[in-house]
Structure 1
């Protein structure tokens, strides 16, 4: 049985995704920038890199699901 990610945060509960972690990366991926972690810092970094240079190849690698980490839990508590 998997983790009930929606129980951690209002945001995850209401995001409309089934919150199933995606499969592990198979093989290799070519990228200009690889970002480790899909928390707010990683996602905003990718956003602004692509806003500045839309042709840039950006890859975000996340161990669980995007937005799961401490950021989502802290913001939910406020």
Structure 2
């Protein structure tokens, strides 16, 4: 198993265990399939569900949520 906590400071400070979910066991039916559980994918799913709660939304991630650039982001803010 990978040590997911080494990805970034943010992952290292989580209290929860970082365990990927098992792969899909079969086919799924969805109205919207989102590839990637980073900021863009998760916010897209959130706002779609708020606007249309009846949608069946599936988020697919190869590793764990925040594994890519979203998990390594330094969070810059400029005025």
* TM-score normalised by structure 1 residue count: 0.85
Structure 1: state its 5+ residue gaps: none
Structure 2: how far apart are the matches of 1:76 and 1:3? 25
Structure 2: state its 5+ residue gaps: none
More helix per residue:
1
Task: Give every structure 1 segment of 4 or more consecutive aligned residues whose post-TM-superposition deviation is greater than 6 Å.
Answer: none
* Structure of greater Rg: 2
Root mean square deviation, CA, Å: 1.9
* TM-score normalised by structure 2 residue count: 0.85
Total equivalences in the alignment: 77
